[in-house]
Amino acid sequence: MFNRIVILQSVVSGLLMGGIYALLGVGFSLTWGVMKVINIAHAAFGILAAYIAYWGLTLYGIDPMLSLILTVPLFFCSGLIIYRFLIQPITRARDIVVASMILTFGLAIILENAMLFAWQPDERLITTSYSTKAIFLGEIIIKVSSLVGFVLSILGISAIYFFLHRTHIGKAVRATWQEPEGAALQGINLGKVSMITFGLALASSGAGGVTMAYMYSFNPPAHNLWLIFLFLVVIVGGVGSVVGSAAAGLIIGLIIGLSGAFFPQQWINVILFGLLMGILLVKPEGLFKT
């Protein structure tokens, strides 16, 4: 049963899945690293984006990829607004990590229940014209929709990477991540940088949500499970690191894929959480941060 094909197939589909976790996780990691804000509502925003894509497709026949043109700027702007009116008031709290977790948990409750109220708890699945198609590489099957999601993730992560490394504002964001006080002394406006980071994080959660929706069915409460994947990505990849998040996403996808080949389905999450606990205990700063 455990022949070469099965393993190869699990590796490939695991990696495809992992790319998507990475895109969803990178924004979460950024806000955590740069602003010390743990955004519990991150995955809920992803679900919201998935719903926008779903309704665009079902009602107007708009391809989910095209819906990103609307979703990403919209989420960026709402990120700016949320930062200004919700996050900024708590930045002076004694323990911003805790305060932000509770605040965004409240936000997640509101989002989840607003979505439940508007769209019922039914499981939704994005079915495009190409979701039943697949590419055959020898004996390995690659679903076109997974491939599309994966490519989108790579594009999204690259965009964030180039923003952080090539633009002036992006460099300011990284400087703030490394040493907030030093950055402030160099004339970097921390409030502005945090605002942009939060906008960027939400934009990436929107993109990540849509790509997730390519592979999984979703309903409003699903954000709790997605959140666990976010934590996994951040803990494995190291807080605030884009490259770390990308690598962590791929590794996690690989582990899920491979354990799917060897263990019964219901134990996979136990393995994942056990792994997460193990990594936390041995190397809490993440595997990729020096």
Partner 1 sequence: MRSKRSLLLVGFLCVLALLPLIRPPAYFLSFLFKMFLFIILAESWNLVGGFTGYLSFGHVAFFGIGAYTSAMLFQLAGLSPFLGALPAGLMASAVAFLIGYPCLRLKGPYFAVVTLCFAFVMDLTVKNWAFLGGAEGIHLKLVPLDIQVSRSIFYEIFLGLALVTVLSVRHVQHSKFGMGLTSIREDEDVAQTLCIRTAGLKVKAFVLSAFFPGVAGGIYAYYISYIHPDIVFDINVSILIVLMALFGGGSSWLGPLIGAGFLSVINEFLSMFIKPEIARMIYGALFMAVIIFMPDGVVAYVRKWAFRPEGASAASSSGEGEAQTGERPC
Q: Tell me which residues touch partner 1 (CB under 8 A).
A: 32, 38, 86, 89-90, 93-95, 97-99, 101-103, 105-110, 112-114, 116-117, 224, 228, 231, 235, 266-267, 269-270, 273-274, 276-277, 280-281, 284
In terms of DSSP bridges, do strands 134-137 and 140-143 run parallel, antiparallel, or are they unpaired?
antiparallel
Nearer to partner 1 by Cβ, of 126 and 201: the residue is: 201
Quickly tell me which residue has 């700063």 as its tokens: 285
Nearer to partner 1 by Cβ, of 211 and 259: the residue is: 259
For residue 235, the minimal CB distance to partner 1 (Å) is 6
For residue 42, the minimal CB distance to partner 1 (Å) is 14
C-alpha span between 153 and 31 (Å, rounded): 19
For residue 43, the minimal CB distance to partner 1 (Å) is 14
- Contact criterion met (CB below 8 Å) for 203 and 160: no
Nearer to partner 1 by Cβ, of 92 and 168: the residue is: 92
Nearer to partner 1 by Cβ, of 4 and 92: the residue is: 92
For residue 22, the minimal CB distance to partner 1 (Å) is 18
C-alpha span between 94 and 209 (Å, rounded): 32
Nearer to partner 1 by Cβ, of 86 and 169: the residue is: 86
Residue 149 CB-half CA count within 13 A: 33
For residue 265, the minimal CB distance to partner 1 (Å) is 10
C-alpha span between 207 and 156 (Å, rounded): 7
C-alpha distances out from residue 98 to 39, 40, 86, 173, 240, Å: 11, 11, 14, 22, 18
Nearer to partner 1 by Cβ, of 38 and 160: the residue is: 38
Residue 92, SS3 per DSSP: coil
CB count in 10 Å sphere of residue 81 = 13
Q: What is the dihedral of CA 160, 69, 122, 271, to 10 degrees?
A: -20
CB count in 10 Å sphere of residue 249 = 29
Q: In the chain, what is the greatest distance between 2 CA atoms, to the nearest angstrom?
A: 61
Nearer to partner 1 by Cβ, of 96 and 144: the residue is: 96
For residue 190, the minimal CB distance to partner 1 (Å) is 19
For residue 88, the minimal CB distance to partner 1 (Å) is 10
